[in-house]
């Protein structure tokens, strides 16, 4: 087993195999010898070391990764051998390693050397391969568009890093970052410095103007950057708190749903009854953890990055693995969601009809009753509840019972009971409807209806309900108990149930139901007749108001005479 050496290369620490370290040392020595007569040798070596460290860092799989010969060979293959880059002093083009290298994709940087203020336009010009002048023209034109050009420039200034190192400058123009291009770039910079010194007198005034603009832009940019840095820190804290809190609650939810397989929780029956699929409930928690938790995990990572920009990345393997898990979880969640929705897609019903043997002179009495085992009284109602029956069997209990009165042309009154449920298919929905248990009794002239339905818990909640329709021939007399008001869904224009008393007598007429003994102020159809007449007069004049009353009781309050004149207003009723 070879020894390992800890080295600091380009400001980064690496654990490197001894053989790989020796080969890398020989490689740098060869580069130094090939550049012994070049200007800016130290700057070139420094840039090459930084580029090599970047390439080695990309190959780091973990913090304990040891750089081996294979890694060094791959880096050298990218950078090229020193003997491939013999610098010619004339202006003939190099026949170098880079000439056979495909041009790599560009990276977006600010070129402050060629820029007027922050180098944004120059950087965009390099990236899109156009002259920076056109970028500046576009930004100036956008200034007249509600100031969007200024806002766009500030945002780009913040998000675009400045090309500082030689490697970054090469990446900005899309040139391969190898020894030849690094050396070429450094030599160009030295030549530019030399030219600037020679032309100092000619460029004096131009540089002063450019320097002034640069200082103003730099000061403004520093202020904007400071504001955004403070905002970024604050945003980072919020993202961390939000992300970690969500992850904690998701973990608690997954643990709770997972442990429900072994521990009976009070709410477990409700969840199972509402489970529209055949999957165990813990799978929903796991899917939600990945589908919701992974984005919030990356939000937390983003928050830490905003607080500490130098924080090391979690690595591409972890990123792509989490991305794949998230895509799978979202796809499965959508699939289950569609299946959940389909569980309520179809209505199924089972109908039962029974005649009521009622004499023409009898009065039908209608009432709802409760079960003491499920409720305290008839007013104790619940749309959905999990409970146990007398045999200690888990059942779904519901008061989803609807009652309606209609007219029939048949000779005998009859009752129709419709059991309804939903399902993903007609057969499944109808089968669930058949499993609903509902009872009623016809005892003489009494119709006694249960105010509830029950179904086994295994049938699950599928909007089970009962619809009761009572059909009465014309002339049928009936009375309703006060309990009926909670379940009556009759058309008010056909049957207006009076809630003040359960003693009123109703009669099925040709067009609607008529109350025979309801008070006048409660009778919508004005069915109560009263033969007493009322003679009331109201006089309003300069002497005041005069009211005379002969009789008070009368339901036909029609105005007999209305006069408005100089004497006032005179109203007379029949």
Question: pLDDT (tens digit, 9 = 90+) per residue, 312-340?
Answer: 777 788 888 889 999 998 988 888 778 77
Most confident stretch, 184-193, 324-333, 456-465: 324-333
- State whether 472 and 367 are in the same domain: yes
- State whether 258 and 321 are in the same domain: yes
In a domain, 549, yes or no: yes
- Domain's final residue, options 104, 119, 146: 104
- State whether 299 and 378 are in the same domain: no
Rg of the chain, C-alpha, whole Å = 45
- State whether 372 and 328 are in the same domain: no
In a domain, 220, yes or no: no
Number of structural domains in the chain = 4
Mean pLDDT of 537-544: 55
Q: What is the pLDDT of residue 529?
A: 43
Q: What is the pLDDT of residue 94?
A: 45
Poorest-pLDDT segment among 116-130, 478-492, 500-514: 116-130
Is the pLDDT assigned to residue 236 strictly greater than 60? yes
Q: For residue 550, what pLDDT band results from cuts at 50, 70 and 90?
A: very low
In a domain, 175, yes or no: no
- State whether 383 and 473 are in the same domain: yes
Is the pLDDT assigned to residue 200 strictly greater than 50? no
- State whether 276 and 421 are in the same domain: no
pLDDT tens digits for range 351-371: 999 999 988 889 999 999 998
Where in the sequence is the domain holding 249, given as residue range(s)?
A: 230-342
In a domain, 192, yes or no: no
- State whether 368 and 335 are in the same domain: no
In a domain, 262, yes or no: yes
- State whether 364 and 334 are in the same domain: no
In a domain, 134, yes or no: no
Tokens of residue 285, six digits:
């928690």
Is the pLDDT assigned to residue 567 strictly greater than 50? yes
- Contact 239/306 with Cβ under 8 angstroms? yes
- State whether 411 and 374 are in the same domain: yes
In a domain, 240, yes or no: yes
Poorest-pLDDT segment among 3-12, 193-202, 283-292: 193-202
Write down the residue that tokens 């449920």 correspond to. Answer: 421
- Domain's final residue, options 104, 128, 155: 104
Report the DSSP beta bridge partners of residue 367: 448
Q: What is the pLDDT of residue 414?
A: 94
- State whether 384 and 322 are in the same domain: no
Q: Is the pTM of this model over 0.85?
A: no
Give residues with Cβ within 8 angstroms of 156, minimum separation 6: 120, 124
Share of the chain above pLDDT 70, in %: 69
CA atoms of 79 and 98, how far apart (whole Å): 9
Q: What is the pLDDT of residue 211?
A: 56
- State whether 323 and 388 are in the same domain: no
- Domain's final residue, options 342, 374, 400: 342
Mean pLDDT of 30-38: 74
Q: Long-range contact list for 432-438, CB < 8 A, 24+ apart? A: 432/348, 432/459, 432/462, 432/464, 433/348, 433/349, 433/350, 433/464, 434/350, 435/459, 436/350, 436/464, 436/466, 438/401, 438/466
In a domain, 391, yes or no: yes
- State whether 409 and 499 are in the same domain: yes
């Amino acid at each position: 087993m070879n020894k390992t050496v800890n080295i600091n290369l380009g400001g980064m620490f690496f654990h490197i195999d001894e053989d790989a370290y020796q080969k890398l040392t020989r490689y740098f020595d060869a580069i130094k010898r090939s550049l012994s007569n070049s200007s800016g040798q130290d700057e070139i070596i420094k840039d090459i070391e930084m580029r090599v460290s970047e390439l080695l860092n990309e190959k780091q799989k973990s913090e304990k990764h040891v750089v081996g010969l294979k890694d060094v060979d791959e880096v050298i293959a990218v950078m090229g051998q020193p003997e491939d880059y013999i610098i010619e002093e004339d202006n003939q083009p190099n026949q170098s390693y880079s000439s056979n290298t495909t041009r790599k994709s560009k990276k977006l940087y600010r070129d402050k050397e060629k820029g007027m203020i922050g180098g944004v336009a120059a950087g965009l010009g390099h990236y899109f391969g156009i002259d920076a002048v056109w970028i500046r023209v576009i930004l100036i034109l956008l200034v007249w568009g509600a100031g969007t050009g200024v806002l766009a420039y500030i945002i780009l200034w913040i998000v675009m890093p400045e090309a500082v190192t030689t490697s970054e400058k090469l990446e900005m123009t899309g040139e391969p970052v190898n020894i030849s291009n690094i050396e070429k770039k450094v030599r160009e910079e030295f030549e530019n410095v030399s030219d600037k010194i020679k032309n100092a007198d000619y460029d004096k005034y131009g540089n002063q103007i450019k320097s002034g603009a640069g200082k103003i832009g730099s000061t403004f940019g520093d202020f904007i950057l400071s504001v955004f840095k403070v905002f970024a820190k604050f945003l980072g804290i919020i993202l961390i708190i939000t992300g970690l809190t969500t992850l904690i609650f998701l973990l608690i939810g997954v643990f709770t749903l997972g442990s429900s397989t072994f521990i009976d929780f009070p709410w477990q029956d409700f969840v199972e009854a509402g489970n529209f699929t055949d999957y165990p409930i813990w799978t929903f928690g796991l899917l939600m953890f990945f589908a919701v938790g992974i984005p919030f995990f990356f939000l937390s990572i983003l928050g830490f990055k905003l607080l500490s920009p130098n924080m090391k990345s979690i690595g591409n393997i972890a990123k792509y693995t989490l991305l794949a898990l998230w895509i799978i979880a979202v796809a499965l969640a959508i699939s289950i969601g569609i299946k959940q929705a389909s569980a309520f897609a179809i209505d199924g019903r089972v109908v039962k009809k029974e005649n009521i043997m009622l004499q023409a002179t009898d009065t039908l009495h209608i009432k709802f009753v409760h079960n003491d085992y499920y409720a305290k009284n008839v007013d104790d109602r619940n749309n959905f509840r999990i409970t146990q029956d007398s045999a200690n069997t888990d059942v779904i209990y519901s008061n989803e019972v609807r009652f309606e009165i209609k007219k029939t042309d048949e000779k005998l009154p009859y009752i129709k009971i419709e059991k309804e449920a939903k399902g993903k298919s007609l057969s499944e929905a109808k089968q669930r409807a058949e499993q609903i248990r509902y009872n009623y009794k016809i005892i003489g002239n009494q119709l006694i209806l249960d105010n509830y339905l029950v179904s086994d818990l295994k049938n699950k909640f599928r909007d089970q309900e009962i619809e009761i329709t009572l059909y009465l021939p014309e002339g049928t007399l009936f009375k309703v108990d006060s309990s009926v008001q909670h379940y009556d869904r009759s058309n008010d224009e056909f049957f207006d149930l009076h809630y003040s008393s359960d003693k009123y007598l109703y009669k099925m007429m040709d067009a609607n139901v008529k109350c025979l003994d309801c008070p006048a102020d409660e009778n919508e159809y004005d069915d109560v007749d009263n033969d007493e007449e009322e003679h009331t007069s109201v006089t309003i004049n300069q002497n005041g108001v005069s009211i005379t009353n002969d009789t008070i009781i009368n339901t036909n309050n029609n105005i007999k005479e209305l006069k408005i004149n100089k004497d006032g207003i005179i109203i007379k009723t029949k």
